[in-house]
Amino acid sequence: MVMLAAVVAVGAAAAGCGNSSDAATAKAALRAAASGRPPSTVSQHTSPPAQRFPSYTATALQPQVDVHSAPNGPVSATLTNPLPDGSQLTFLLTADNSQSAGGWVQAYLPIKPNGSTGWIQASAVKIQGDPYRLVVTQSTHRLDVYNLANLERTYPVAVGAPETPTPVGTFYITELLKTTNPGVYGDYAYGLSGHSPTLTDFDGYDAEIGLHGTGDPSSIGHSVSHGCVRLNNADVDALVPVLPLGTPVQIQA
């Protein structure tokens, strides 16, 4: 697992993707990188334009972002920017932004339960077009990288074991972490907005999932993790210069 609450929490969650015996040393396994890189093609707006990209992301412009249950509705959550690791708070916008003309956008949220959405004032975020999306197919242990409508890359992956499955649904990249223990997790790990459907915590922290490298390449192609998606280390390294925060990750059975 990859934690998003703090550097210590990041390490604790990462333990969930390896063996349980790793938990004692995984506290310091990951440290935060400065941020994810922006997409190679970006369109910036204060409200969603006509659809030119397959998805749009929203980066917080304020120290706190209030999430509302509906446009002009009550506040359902308040999220802090930046994240404890220094990454900017980022959202993936849903396809339903019918209220954007009224100054509101609907976004997926990096909170429980998985698939949570809420409404945010458009003035509180910077909206960007993202040409990339990831599709993880668990039955074939495969990750497809799309650039606009084009299948650009395909990588083999490991996913969750039957007792600790990788959740199914639409998620997005919340942060990019550089590891201090590449022999276990590779050089980099992406934090995702989803949470384990069966595990509630690791060492007292939320069991959030991630996408990262591995020190056990023989696990690739199998269902063996505690919910994270593992790639070969070279494959994660190839994605780092490409994927921005907010990139959608569709995980399917």
Contact indicator for 172, 248 with CB cutoff of 8 Å: yes
State how beta strands 150-160 and 223-225 pair. Answer: parallel
- Asked about 17 being catalytic, the answer comes back as no
Instruction: Give the whole-angstrom CA distance, residue 185 versus residue 177.
Output: 11
> How many angstroms from the chain centroid is the CA of residue 136?
13
- Asked about 212 being catalytic, the answer comes back as yes
Contact indicator for 156, 142 with CB cutoff of 8 Å: yes
For CA atoms 183, 83, 127, 42, the dihedral sign is negative
Instruction: Give the whole-angstrom CA distance, residue 61 versus residue 4.
Output: 19
Burial class of 244 by CB neighbour count within 10 A (0 to 12, 13 to 18, 19+): buried
Identify which of 175, 224, 166, 222 has the alpha carbon closest to the alpha carbon of residue 194: 166
Q: Which residues contact 20 (CB under 8 A, 6 or more apart)?
A: none
Instruction: Give the whole-angstrom CA distance, residue 191 versus residue 88.
Output: 13
Write out the two tokens for 123: 């003035």
Q: Which one is catalytic: 17, 195, 226, 228?
A: 228
Q: Which one is catalytic: 141, 195, 212, 226?
A: 212
- Residues known to be catalytic: 212, 228
